[in-house]
Each structure stands twice: as structure tokens, then as C-alpha cells.
């Protein structure tokens, strides 16, 4: 027996989805009506009657319970069908692919991405559109509006759906299709990359380490790398998704993927290393004894993508977020293709990909992807690197050295100052914005400021304008400082300072990035008065 119940509720403050959906501490999400209010607001805005959605998440704590609630609510709101990953698991790129492959009306992804998971850590819910990409601001804003006026939600009274086995179930009048979370995604990867060449490389003794950080990519990486490409068993470590990610912080950067970094810089380092985040959209790649910054990775992938069958015809354009280094721009110029500079956040790439203006996109925050889905895609980047390595038959270090010699090197680093009191961070940004007009022409650390502004973006496809996307300070020697506050943090404010310096190649190319950037770092502290405003003299995380 199933019955639709309408439950009286009232608005809950602070259900405002950010660039990556609604993210809160897990106990908040588990609070009375909290998840239900937001899910009902989603359905009220996009409509559920007769529609088909995809549902899955990164397996973090509450993922399984939330999936059952969302299924019952989808059924009560009249959805015709929900395609859900077995065990309620889907990586974000796999969810994006399923939304597109099945021509559905969108999907709900349960994840707080790279934020830790567990009873007292983070949880999140986001809605993706029928194109497979995150809902644009107009839609998330409408969802937020809805949370401020909601008075009731609908839920089906029913038992849990068995999500542990693949197959079809009926939930009220809605069909629930439990699908293998990996199969369709793996097939997509096989259609893009030269699997025989990569397989031959592994068969020839090439060794790799993939750290899935106890998060969602484990099953994907084991199936693709070990089963299909023949990497030796044990190549994938931390390959079982755990509700608390095994206590790890599943953010693939040198700080949080330290074990991988240690291995790659140790005496027994394999040829290639990679890690991905909680929901599988981020990636970090490392060569033996050499770290590849995400900005450089984007540039190398853009320069070599034609070596993979899926991109053999060349790229239409390359897009990067504004704080990402200009390394990819140099490749686009050399290839004679379009280049785009967008605000931070993957959703700004969606229009460019949909319109066929860009093929490959990337962010400095370990996000890289292409028009094969509408999310960034960690394993995709790893596989494109493997494809390039298999064709060029060179080490990562040699590929980077040749790249820098040809295009010059954009030294790059991001310094994060976390959990700052929000009022203090806001005051610092306000003061900085107020000083912009007076910065031009000022000399500091032997450099002259050539321009300073607050980045604004006009979408070349729909003409929409996004203001105040980060303060940029540009120097006459090509150096650059960007300041912005994180939109994804859950505690206080996180100040991100992005630092860049260009060295034309070849020659002078082998400095440590922090050493090369030292004057830019000093200038960044000085210009914004970081310690005066926030009391912080050193960053918490350096990437
Ligand atoms: C961060 C990254 C940004 C990325 C987003 C979602 O956002 O900086 O590039 O798109 O996570 O993964 P932020 O916290 O800086 O707003
Ligand atoms: Zn993520």
C-alpha cells in the first residue's frame, strides 16, 4: 500500500544553493523538514509530473537515506521514472552522462564534492538540467525563493526501494530503474580514448597509482584502469567508497593527497599518479618526481588532445575560469582556436559547450573536462593524460619541459586562508574594491600595476552579466594577483589568493613555484592588508 501524504512545513532560513547546489553540515540536512523542503522546492520549480530524473550521489554519510526520501518525494510529486545508481552511487560526471544519454529531464546529485563526509561533516544536494549541467543561477535563485515561501511537501508513504541490486522497481506509480553506476560511463570513456594504446602501455610495464580517497571514483577506476586497461591489481588505492571517506579529506591536492605525493616523489615512484575527489569531478595528476598544476594540466591537455580519438578533429575552443593561469590561452593562440575566460564555477562553461564554442575547459581548482558531459570529470582527465603518455611515449616531466620550452611557463599558486570571520573577510574585500581606482601605476616589489578591476563577465551565448567575480591586479610584466571569497565553504569565509607570474621559455624554467612567486606573494599581502584585516600571515592551504 502506498499513499501520498502532504506534510505541512514552513520555510527554513538559509537554504540558498550556491555555485554547487545546497551544501550544509550533515546534521543540518538531517534536521526536521530540511532535506524535504529543499527537494520540494526543486520539484516546485522544475516540475516533476510525468518527468524522468537521474539520482545518485558520492556515497557519503546520509547518501542512502536521502536517496530514499528523494525517491518517495519524486513519486509523490508525480515523476514517471527515476534512474538511480546501484547503492544510490553515481559520480557527478557519470550522473551528468546518464542525464544526457537517457534524454531525461535532469537529475539530483547528492554530494558535497571534496568536503569531508560523515555524521558531523558535510552533505549537499544539487539539481542538474536536461543538458547534464548544474542549474543556472536563475533556476537556483527560483529554488531559493521557493524555500522562503514553502508551506507543504509531498511524500509517498512506502517502504525503501531495494537499491542494492540492478533492476526495475515500482514506487507508487513511478518506475525506479536501478542501474550499474559504472557501465555507461566506462563505455563513454572507451569511445573517447585509445584504449588499445593505453592497454599496450600498461602491458609494457607502465605503472600508475590512482588514489580514489575512499570516495566515489573507486569502482569507476578499478573497472576502467584495472579491468579494461590492464593496470596491475592494486593500482587503485582507497578504492572503496566509505560514508566518511575513511576519515580522509577527499580533495585531490598536494595537501590532502599527501600519501600520493610522497609516493610520486619517493624512490619507488610509479610512472604516473592521480587522485580524484569525493564525487569524482576533480583530479590531480602527478608525474614521477613532478607535480602538474591544474592550470598547466589544462594547457597540456589542450595542446595534445588531438592524440585521443575523441578529439582527433581538433578543438573548437578552450575555456578557463578567470583565476586559472593563462597557460591555456597560449595554447589556444598557437592552435588558432577560440579562448574564453569565465567566472569561477563550472556552470559558466555550460553555455560555451552547448553552443559548440569550446571543447575543453578547466579551472585551477583541479577541475578539467570537455563537451562529453556538462560537469568537470576527474577520470576523464586522467584517461586523456594516459592517452597522451601512450602516444608520445615520454615521461610527464619531459612532456611538461617541452611544453614550457615552447609556450613559456606560467608559474602559479593559490593560497587559501580558511575559516576567517565573515565580517573581517568582507571588510577586507570592500576595502580592496575601494582602492582599485588608485592602484594603477603603483610600483610594488619592482613591478608596476598596469590594471586593477573587479572581474565581470558577459556570457557570449545568452548575454547574461555576472558582476563582482573577483578582484584582479595585473602587472606590467604579466604577473597577476586575484582575490576572491569562496562560494562553497561551510564555515566562516575562505579567502582565495591566486598568484601568477610568466617566464618566457626556454631558460629560467626550473624554479620552485613558491620561490618564483615570492615577490608576487609579498605584493598580494601588502596590497590587500591581509594580516591587518584577518590576523593571518600565512595561508592554510597552498596548491
Ligand atoms: C571552488 C573552486 C571552483 C569550483 C568550485 C566547485 O569554489 O574554487 O573553481 O568550481 O569549488 O568545485 P569556491 O569555493 O572557490 O567558490
Ligand atoms: Zn567535486
User: For the domain that residue 433 is a member of, what is the CATH number?
Assistant: 3.30.310.50
pTM: 0.95
462 and 378 both lie in a single domain: no
461 and 336 both lie in a single domain: no
Q: Is 159 exposed, middle or buried (0-12, 13-18, 19+ CB in 10 A)?
A: exposed
316 and 450 both lie in a single domain: no
- Residue 506, pLDDT score: 62
420/147 Cα distance (integer angstroms): 28
397 and 427 both lie in a single domain: no
Question: Which of residues 407, 439, 455 is at a domain's end?
Answer: 407
Question: Which of residues 407, 425, 452 is at a domain's end?
Answer: 407
- For residue 364, the ligand 1 atom closest to its alpha carbon is 9
Q: Which sequence positions are flagged as catalytic? A: 113
Residue (of 412, 364, 414) closest to 542 by Cα position: 414
- Residue 504, pLDDT score: 85
* Exposure b/e, 240-253, CB count within 10 A at least 16 = b: ebbbebeebbbbbb
Q: How many other C-beta atoms can be found within 10 angstroms of the C-beta atom of residue 505?
A: 16
Which region, left, alpha or beta, applies to residue 226 given φ > 0 means left and ψ of -120 to 50 means alpha?
Answer: alpha
433 and 389 both lie in a single domain: no
- Inter-residue contact 153 to 39 (CB < 8 Å): yes
503 and 402 both lie in a single domain: no
What is the β-pairing status of strands 3-8 and 152-157?
antiparallel
401 and 496 both lie in a single domain: no
- Inter-residue contact 118 to 60 (CB < 8 Å): yes
- Residue 136, pLDDT score: 85
Q: Assess whether the C-beta atom of 344 lies below 6 angstroms from ligand 1.
A: yes
86 and 103 both lie in a single domain: yes
Q: Assess whether the C-beta atom of 496 lies below 6 angstroms from ligand 1.
A: yes
Ligand 2 center from residue 537 Cα (angstroms): 29
- Inter-residue contact 339 to 349 (CB < 8 Å): no
Ligand 1 center from residue 486 Cα (angstroms): 7
Residue 109: nearest ligand to its CA? 2
110/287 Cα distance (integer angstroms): 32
444: domain range? Answer: 409-542
205 and 225 both lie in a single domain: yes
- Residue 510, pLDDT score: 72
Question: Which of residues 145, 179, 213 is at a domain's end?
Answer: 179
Q: Assess whether the C-beta atom of 276 lies below 6 angstroms from ligand 1.
A: no
Q: What is the DSSP letter of 518?
A: H
What sections of 278-395 are H helices per DSSP?
A: 294-304, 327-335, 347-354, 378-392
Q: Assess whether the C-beta atom of 20 lies below 6 angstroms from ligand 1.
A: yes
Q: Domains in the chain: how many in total?
A: 3
Q: What are the φ and ψ backbone dihedral angles of 541, each rounded to 5 degrees?
A: -135, 130
Residues 6+ apart with CB under 8 A from 20: 113, 124, 126, 134, 345, 487, 488
110 and 200 both lie in a single domain: no
Query: If you take atom 10 of ligand 1, which residue's CA is the nearest one?
Result: 345
Block means of pLDDT (10 residues each) for the chain, length 543 residues?
89 86 94 97 98 98 98 98 98 98 98 94 96 91 96 97 98 98 98 98 98 98 98 97 95 94 97 98 97 97 98 98 97 98 91 96 97 98 98 97 94 95 96 94 95 96 92 95 88 94 73 92 97 95 90
Amino acid at each position: 500500500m502506498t499513499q501520498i501524504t502532504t506534510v505541512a512545513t514552513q520555510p527554513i532560513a538559509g537554504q540558498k544553493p550556491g555555485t554547487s547546489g545546497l551544501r550544509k553540515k550533515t546534521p543540518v540536512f538531517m534536521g526536521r523538514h530540511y532535506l524535504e523542503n529543499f527537494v520540494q522546492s526543486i520539484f516546485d520549480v522544475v516540475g516533476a509530473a510525468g518527468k524522468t530524473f537521474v539520482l545518485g550521489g558520492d556515497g557519503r554519510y546520509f547518501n542512502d537515506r536521502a536517496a530514499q526520501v528523494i525517491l518517495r518525494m519524486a513519486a509523490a510529486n508525480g515523476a514517471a521514472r527515476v534512474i538511480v545508481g546501484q547503492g544510490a552511487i553515481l559520480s557527478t560526471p557519470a550522473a551528468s552522462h546518464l542525464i544526457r544519454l537517457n534524454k531525461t529531464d535532469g537529475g539530483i546529485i547528492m554530494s558535497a564534492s571534496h568536503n569531508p563526509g560523515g555524521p558531523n561533516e558535510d552533505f549537499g544536494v544539487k539539481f542538474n538540467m536536461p543538458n547534464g549541467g548544474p542549474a543556472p543561477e536563475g533556476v537556483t535563485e527560483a529554488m531559493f525563493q521557493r524555500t522562503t515561501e514553502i508551506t507543504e511537501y509531498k511524500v509517498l508513504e512506502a517502504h525503501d526501494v531495494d537499491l542494492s541490486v540492478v533492476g526495475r522497481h515500482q514506487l507508487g506509480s513511478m518506475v525506479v530503474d536501478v542501474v550499474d553506476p559504472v557501465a555507461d560511463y566506462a563505455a563513454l570513456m572507451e569511445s573517447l580514448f585509445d584504449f588499445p594504446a593505453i592497454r599496450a602501455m600498461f602491458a609494457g610495464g607502465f605503472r600508475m597509482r590512482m588514489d580514489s580517497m575512499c570516495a566515489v571514483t573507486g569502482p569507476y577506476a578499478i573497472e576502467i584502469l584495472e579491468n579494461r586497461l590492464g593496470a596491475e591489481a592494486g593500482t587503485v588505492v582507497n578504492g572503496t567508497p566509505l560514508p566518511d571517506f575513511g576519515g580522509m579529506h577527499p580533495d585531490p591536492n598536494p595537501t590532502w593527497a599527501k600519501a600520493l605525493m610522497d609516493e610520486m616523489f619517493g624512490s619507488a615512484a610509479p610512472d604516473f599518479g592521480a587522485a580524484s575527489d569525493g564525487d569524482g569531478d576533480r583530479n590531480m595528476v602527478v608525474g614521477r618526481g613532478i607535480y602538474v598544476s591544474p592550470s598547466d594540466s589544462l594547457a597540456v591537455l589542450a595542446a595534445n588532445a588531438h592524440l585521443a580519438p575523441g578529439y582527433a578533429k581538433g578543438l573548437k575552443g578552450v575555456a578557463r575560469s578567470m583565476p586559472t593561469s593563462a597557460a591555456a590561452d597560449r595554447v589556444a593562440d598557437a592552435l588558432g582556436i577560440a579562448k574564453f575566460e569565465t567566472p569561477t564555477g563550472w556552470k559558466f562553461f555550460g553555455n560555451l559547450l552547448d553552443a559548440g564554442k569550446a571543447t575543453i575547459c578547466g579551472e585551477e581548482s583541479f577541475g578539467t573536462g570537455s563537451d562529453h558531459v556538462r560537469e568537470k570529470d576527474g577520470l576523464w582527465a586522467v584517461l586523456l593524460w594516459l592517452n597522451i603518455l601512450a602516444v608520445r611515449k615520454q615521461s610527464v616531466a619531459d612532456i611538461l619541459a617541452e611544453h614550457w620550452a615552447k609556450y613559456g611557463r606560467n608559474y602559479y599558486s593559490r593560497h587559501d586562508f580558511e575559516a576567517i570571520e565573515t565580517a573581517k573577510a568582507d571588510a577586507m574585500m570592500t576595502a580592496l574594491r575601494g582602492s582599485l581606482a588608485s592602484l594603477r601605476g603603483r610600483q610594488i616589489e619592482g613591478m608596476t600595476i598596469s590594471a586593477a578591476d573587479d572581474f565581470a563577465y558577459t556570457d557570449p551565448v545568452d548575454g547574461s552579466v555576472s558582476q563582482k567575480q573577483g578582484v584582479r591586479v595585473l602587472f606590467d610584466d604579466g604577473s597577476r594577483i586575484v582575490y576572491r571569497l569562496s562560494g562553497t565553504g561551510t564555515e566562516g569565509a575562505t579567502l582565495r589568493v591566486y598568484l601568477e607570474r610568466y617566464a618566457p621559455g626556454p631558460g629560467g624554467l626550473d624554479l620552485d613555484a613558491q620561490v618564483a612567486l615570492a615577490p608576487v606573494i609579498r605584493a598580494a599581502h601588502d596590497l590587500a592588508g591581509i594580516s591587518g584585516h584577518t590576523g593571518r600571515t600565512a595561508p592554510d592551504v597552498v596548491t
